[in-house]
Amino acid sequence: MAANAAFKRLTKEYKAIVVSPPPLLTARPLENNILEWHFLLHGPPDTLYHGGVYWGKLVFPPQYPYKPPSIRMLTPNGRFKPGDRICLSMSDFHPDTWNPAWSVATILSGLLSFMATDEVAAGTVAGTPSQRKALAATSHAWNREQKVYKEVFPEFCSDEKPVFGGSYDAPPKDVVVAPSAPAPVPTRTPAPASSSPAVPVESIAAATQPPAPTSVPDATTAPVTPAATTPAPAPAPSAPAGLRARTVMTAHAAADAVHCHPPARGAAAAAAAANAGSVTTPSVSAVTTAAAPSPLVRYKWLVVAFLVWCYLFVSRIAVRFFPQATAASSAAA
């Protein structure tokens, strides 16, 4: 009894053979046993078996497609012993080399290829070429006399040789296959004068290649007017390290002066504070022309006023607390 996997696989393969018959062969299972298949092979052209029709049998195990079938040739042919199992890599002689992806069509195509060789294996016989040709000529008549053949292939029991299978790719001996012409080499053909102007090759090359570097025009070539573009501003020269440090210290001093003495801030202090808050590093000329004055010059009037106030304060204290000494000093003066 066939397993479910074997039944599905063999049913699918039979439908494939009916829809798309393989070259030179046909096969079908028995109506009461899907594990036993019978096949017919046409003798391949250019061989000793050309013109023969060979009947054989495949017996699949219930574990198919994981185990290979046995292969037997039933029609006398001079290559295989009728009714004996044939040793092939796709038969049950070599289950270790079996591939579950192989199908009935694959097995029978391999059998045809092996039949056309003279390799010796189990199930083969050493028939002479004349014997093989004679058996090929009488193969169809022998098949029609077999009871099982009539039951399995009733449509192929007439006197006419059966026709089955797809087309065979190999040509017969009397057909000469012309070598294919080499592919034409593409050439550049100039366009006729009456046709539309062709696009210059230089334009196509310019569109597909990067632009070449601009060369200096000679005296005979008109200069190319460049497109109007906005020039980028030139970066300001950076000040030396010592000058930058001095500028930062001056800016910090100006900021401290503005923070501690708001009333005394002048134009120079405001400029220093503005420079201190600016992110851009001042240039050398700006630092040289707008350098901040020293603290003594900036606060000299405050110092003078403070000294005058101190003098007057001390004088008033002296007159109040030391009148005699003050009068004596005045008289002496």
Catalytic residues: 87
Does this model's pTM top 0.75? no
Structure tokens at 162: 């059966």
CB within 8 A of 280, min separation 6: which ones? Answer: 236
Alpha-carbon distance of 320 to 180, in angstroms, equals 137
**Three-state SS for 192?**
coil
The reported pLDDT for the residue numbered 125 is 93
With 0-12 CB in 10 A as exposed, 13-18 as middle and 19+ as buried, what is 275?
buried
**Three-state SS for 66?**
coil
Instruction: Spell 253-266 as b/e; 16+ CB within 10 A means b.
Output: bbbebbeeeeeebe
The reported pLDDT for the residue numbered 129 is 94
Alpha-carbon distance of 333 to 307, in angstroms, equals 23
Query: Residues 24, 42: contact at Cβ < 8 Å?
Result: yes
Task: For domain 4-156, give the fold.
Answer: Ubiquitin Conjugating Enzyme (3.10.110)
With 0-12 CB in 10 A as exposed, 13-18 as middle and 19+ as buried, what is 102?
middle
Alpha-carbon distance of 149 to 57, in angstroms, equals 11
Alpha-carbon distance of 56 to 39, in angstroms, equals 5
Which amino acid, residue 221? T
The reported pLDDT for the residue numbered 242 is 47
Query: Residues 7, 29: contact at Cβ < 8 Å?
Result: no
| Tens digit of each residue's pLDDT, the chain (333 residues) | 568 899 999 999 999 999 999 999 999 999 999 999 999 999 998 899 999 999 999 999 999 999 999 999 999 999 999 999 999 999 999 999 999 999 999 999 999 999 999 999 999 999 999 999 999 999 999 999 999 999 999 999 988 888 886 644 443 333 333 333 343 444 444 444 444 444 444 444 444 444 444 444 444 444 455 555 555 555 555 544 444 444 444 444 444 444 444 444 454 444 554 554 544 444 444 444 445 556 666 677 788 888 888 988 888 887 777 777 666 666 665
Query: Residues 143, 42: contact at Cβ < 8 Å?
Result: no
Task: Please name which of 155, 160, 117 lies closest in space to residue 140, comparing C-alpha atoms.
Answer: 160
The reported pLDDT for the residue numbered 248 is 44
CB atoms within 10 A of CB 142: 18
Query: Is the torsion defined by CA of 166, 171, 175, 180 positive or negative?
Result: positive
Structure tokens at 272: 């220093």
Task: Please name which of 250, 301, 279, 285 lies closest in space to residue 258, comparing C-alpha atoms.
Answer: 250
- Give, for 55, the enclosing helix (H) or strand (E): strand 53-59
The reported pLDDT for the residue numbered 196 is 43
